[in-house]
Amino acid sequence: MIGLGRFNFFGAVASEMRDAAKKCEDLGANSVDINMGCPVRKVCKVGGGSAMMTELTKTAELVRGMVGAVQIPVTAKMRLGWDEKNLTAPNLAKALEEAGVAGIFVHGRTRQQGFSGKVSLEGIAAVVASVRIPVIGNGDVTTPEGAKRMMIETGCRGVSVGRGAFYNPWIFRATAHYLETGELMAEPDFEERVKVMSRHLERNIDFFGEERGCVLFRKVIPWYARRFGPSSEFKKAAVRISNRADYEKALGDYREWRKQFLDEKGELLVKFAPSRLEAVFAGDAPVERSEIPVPQGPVENW
């Protein structure tokens, strides 16, 4: 059977989670990951996601049952705690280590923060110091330098990238290169970004079909366009695409419109170039960062 990689799921009923882990193993999963970090209300109100960080004994017992039911590694993804007054991640990590998990992924915010504020490297470091198993840091890693800094300042074994890859899917290649050589790769040029964006659309279509694949891709185009320089016209057209022809026309029209911002060599004029990507963590001076859309308003309403 071909391995299906790593499954991540949430829940709070021990028997269901144990059976789900066994089912994933039977299907060929290489590992299973328990979601203890999701802050969304519908997940937390059933005892899953971040709510698992408020009941350490119950959570550890649930995990122990999952570990005992499978031969593949079981890992957990968590946050620092429910809120600033309840930073339970170090104690939960200890309990999970004793229950047999193979590793911990920790997002450096609390559930109350949602995706607001900044990631606490100190909080991640506290989790690293509490266990012997590998800890993987997560949160606001948008550049290779940010990944290296998180590893150095927290002692985590590695980093995982989420929203940062939405508009910069090259971050994985660039980070691996930077960690191995200490050299930063040049950012992809416009043509490479368009090539990857178009390939992404084709894979969307392969999976969902042409119309649905294109409609769903409407929200993806702005992620790529953030690094195109001026792109307002392309974004306007993007929300109307329903097939490949619409996409090709929107892209062709955009190429023509974009020429006004280029020099004689066809390069984007410096004054129109997007600002350099920077990773920003708690304690840093205020720096504007590109945002990926996330739920708005109080986290209780998500």
What residues act catalytically? 38
Q: Which two tokens stand for residue 137?
A: 């840091």
Sign of CA dihedral 165, 33, 16, 294: negative
Q: Let me know how long the chain is.
A: 302
**Distance in angstroms (rounded) separating the CA atoms of residues 182 and 144:** 10
Give, for 191, the enclosing helix (H) or strand (E). helix 190-208
Give the residue from 67, 76, 86, 21 showing the smallest Cα distance to 49.
Answer: 76
Q: What angle do CA 258, 259, 263 make, to 5 degrees?
A: 125
Give the count of alpha carbons within 13 A of 12, CB side only.
20
Q: What angle do CA 59, 135, 91 make, to 5 degrees?
A: 40
**Distance in angstroms (rounded) separating the CA atoms of residues 102 and 31:** 10
**Distance in angstroms (rounded) separating the CA atoms of residues 73 and 6:** 10
C-alpha distances in Å from residue 250, one per residue of 72, 140, 212, 260 = 47, 31, 17, 17
Task: For residue 251, count other CB atoms closer than 10 A to its CB.
Answer: 18
**Distance in angstroms (rounded) separating the CA atoms of residues 114 and 43:** 13
CA diameter of the chain:
66
What b/e sequence results for 255-292 when a residue is b if at least 16 CB atoms lie within 10 Å of its CB, and e otherwise?
eeebeebeeeeeebeeeeebeebebbbeeeeeeeebee
